[in-house]
Amino acid sequence: MTDSRVSGIFPAGSRRFGEGRNSGGQVGIMIKSDAQRERTAAQIEGFRQALAKAERETAGKRAGALRGSYEGMIRQLEDELHEYDELKSGELTLPNVERLDQIAPFVAKMRIARGVSQTELARRLGVSKQVVSRYEETEYQTVAISRLQEILDAIGIKALVTLSA
């Protein structure tokens, strides 16, 4: 099988390992909306179909490598779905953080766990949904501290800050 045929087996629009990292350092992109959840579920189905096709059409060591790759991607996407579903149910354990810059990666998770959509957060902040989406693409790392506080207020999260010398 040539490389062009192998790449043709990947489902259209699929994410490959290494495209991004979530705040836990794992490969993947955190699901941040119901629309992304639906696309991820469709990707899982596409990878399952690609896996079945590869098993029918590929033999030998290459079949094992493809199977492992597809199975790994399916597990990763299923983990992302599971994490999103847990967050949507309100389950979130926040870690103790020692620095303000450690808060930002958890903002999207807190938003989801509080049942606030990107659209609703944008409305509460008086900005467009695209602005909130851009914030989340960078895990809020580019947001000023005052804006971060406004965002936390808008999703109903209280931050307690202790300064020590």
Kindly state whether residues 68 and 23 are assigned to the same domain.
yes
Kindly state whether residues 32 and 65 are assigned to the same domain.
yes
Mean pLDDT of the chain: 81
Q: Is the pLDDT of residue 13 over 60?
A: no
Kindly state whether residues 78 and 109 are assigned to the same domain.
no
Share of the chain above pLDDT 90, in %: 52
End-of-domain residue from the set 88, 112, 136 = 88
Cα four-point dihedral sign 139, 142, 145, 146? negative
Kindly state whether residues 107 and 78 are assigned to the same domain.
no
Over the stretch 120-153, which tens digit does the pLDDT of each residue have? Answer: 999 999 999 999 999 999 999 889 999 999 999 9
Kindly state whether residues 84 and 120 are assigned to the same domain.
no
Q: Is the pLDDT of residue 65 over 60?
A: yes
Domain that holds residue 121: 100-155
**pLDDT score of 111:** 95
